Amino acid sequence: MTIDQTLDSTDKVAVITGGSGVLCSAIAHALGQCGASVILVARTQESLDKVAADIRGKGGHAIGISADVLDKQSLESLAERVMEEFGQVDILINGAGGAKKEATTSESLSFFDLPEDAVRWVFDLNFMGTFLPCQVFSQLMVQQQSGSILNIASMGAYRPLTKSVAYSAAKAAIVNFTQWLAVHISQEYSSHIRVNAIAPGFFLTEQNRFLLTDEQTGELNERGKRIIAHTPMGRFGRPEDLVGAALMLLSDVCSFIHGTVIIVDGGFDAYGGV
């Protein structure tokens, strides 16, 4: 089997939460080009329809289905529809997540004053928004004795980001959960289901723009400039930078990679500052 053949996803069915977001939509496009049937999941149907139409416009097969990753019943309804229409689930990508200004420390909001509901919202969206889809869809993979799960962690899991307390903690939990689930699935259910994660470094998205740019000018703020200075490649990540790592981990060429987190950060983690 050649490398090109292993990246071929023809006849595979991929469910992608957070599928209308900047990062996961890039992975969705790539899977569509590799032949997979892509089910994009988020709460806003309009944004899902746009990404799905873009994928179909490039020759891929994609649909958008609105669901709430924090509502298990909503996810179970999603799973039922996927099985009715496609009969299988080969890939699950957990990309739902993000930060929130109200759960982030700043000059006007100290750690001591962070509102509990905002912190819970960020932690739940990132961690429970990964845990619950894994519960629902890995059960289907166990029934079919095959599948690959890819969680989206963050460099914040390894180097806690100043200001972003809830986000960093939740992403650290995702790393731990990825390793736990990999072991649990293999020992209890099947050695043919793999669980891995990717940890993006700094990618400029709508969810973190408030942390990295000046709201008035749009230029990088001091934090944004420090990040670039500590990234050896000298730039933020681009959505397409995640595609190679994702396709690799999801493909049969990585059939013995399990419980692993691949860092995609332009060298940020390797840089010691001198």
Q: Are 134 and 111 within 8 A, CB to CB?
A: no
Domains parsed from the chain with CATH numbers: 3-201+237-264 (3.40.50.720)
Please state, for a pLDDT cut of 90, what percent of the chain lies above it.
80
Q: 0.85 cut: is pTM over it? A: yes
Ordered strands of the 37-42 beta sheet: 61-66, 37-42, 13-17, 91-94, 147-152, 193-200, 261-264
pLDDT the model gives residue 217: 86
pLDDT the model gives residue 197: 98
pLDDT the model gives residue 204: 79
Strand partners, 220: 213
| pLDDT mean across residues, the chain | 93
Angle between helices 22-33 and 45-57 (to 10 degrees): 30
pLDDT the model gives residue 1: 45
pLDDT the model gives residue 4: 53
The residues, ordered by sequence, that sit 6+ positions from 247 with a Cβ below 8 Å of its Cβ are 7, 27, 30, 31, 34
| Residues that are catalytic | 167
What tokens does 224 get? 């944004």
Q: Are 194 and 258 within 8 A, CB to CB?
A: yes
Which pLDDT tens digit goes with each residue over 170-223? 999 999 999 999 999 999 999 999 999 999 999 877 766 777 787 788 888 888
Task: Report, as ranges of residue numbers, the positions in the chain whose pLDDT lies below 70.
Answer: 1-6, 207-208
